[in-house]
Amino acid sequence: MVDRHSQIHDEVVAANAAYAADFGDKGALALPPARGFAILTCMDARLDPAKYAGLAEGDAHVIRNAGGRASDDAIRSLVISHKLLGTKEWFVIHHTDCGMELFDGPTMATLLETSLATAQFDGKTWRNTENAGGSKEGWHVAWLTFKDLAQSVRDDVARIREHPLTPKDIPVHGFIYDVKTGRLIAVT
């Protein structure tokens, strides 16, 4: 395992020290989310669910993955959120300008087969900058990419609603977050 201290590492540790110094009574927050809902959204750094959904610490569960997709693991988290922690409503929120629209599974698997280093994108094509240390394991991953943003939201909402572990009385809402305006756009 490589353990290198970097400027980013030091900034995170310093930020945490400042946060912990002013932690106050947050240690007393209840385990179940106070507002009783969960959000499934993308890991994109431009999305701040606390801000776009008006959340404070302890308000809601936020489940994030690449694309905000209803993967088996995301559904596992939603089911736990409801069954053990009492959430009563779920939101699926994808976003404009999502990187998951820029490739497909075979492209990713092919890139990984020849290199694990970060690839480059010229606006049309992905390419490796190095060709060493790859793995064929990328062919065994469901990358859950998409070409139609609104359809990806509809598909994920439907998958969650139709899942045998989802209670029929839980509302599942679909939205697109616009990264240029900060607005949530309902998808029906």
pLDDT, tens digit (0-9, with 9 covering 90-100), for 102-140: 999 999 999 999 999 999 999 999 999 998 889 999 999
Do 176 and 123 reside in the same domain of the chain? no
Report d(CA 40, CA 156) in Å as an integer: 10
Do 92 and 162 reside in the same domain of the chain? yes
Do 70 and 135 reside in the same domain of the chain? no
Do 50 and 94 reside in the same domain of the chain? yes
Do 132 and 109 reside in the same domain of the chain? yes
Domain membership flag for residue 10: no
Do 85 and 116 reside in the same domain of the chain? no
Domain membership flag for residue 188: yes
pLDDT score recorded for residue 131: 87
- Name the average pLDDT for the chain: 96
Do 156 and 70 reside in the same domain of the chain? yes
**Tens digit of pLDDT for each residue in 17-40?**
999 999 999 999 899 999 999 999
Do 83 and 154 reside in the same domain of the chain? yes
Domain count, the chain: 2
Order the strands of the 37-42 sheet from edge to edge. Answer: 60-65, 37-42, 89-95, 172-177, 184-186
91 phi/psi in degrees, rounded to 5: -125, 135
Do 131 and 187 reside in the same domain of the chain? no
Domain membership flag for residue 74: yes
User: How many CB atoms neighbour CB 11 within 10 A?
Assistant: 10
**Domain range for residue 134?**
104-142
Query: CA dihedral defined by 4, 47, 61, 170, rounded to 10 degrees?
Result: -150
Domain membership flag for residue 19: no
Residue 62 pLDDT greater than 90, yes or no: yes
Do 113 and 133 reside in the same domain of the chain? yes
Domain of 179, CATH number, reads 3.40.1050.10
Domain membership flag for residue 17: no
The tokens describing 35, both together, are 């507002």
Do 92 and 157 reside in the same domain of the chain? yes
Helices (H) and strands (E) in the chain, counts: 5, 7
Among 80, 83, 49, which Cα is nearest to 64's? 49
Do 43 and 132 reside in the same domain of the chain? no
pTM comes to: 0.92
Domain membership flag for residue 4: no
The tokens describing 53, both together, are 């959904």
113 phi/psi in degrees, rounded to 5: -65, -30
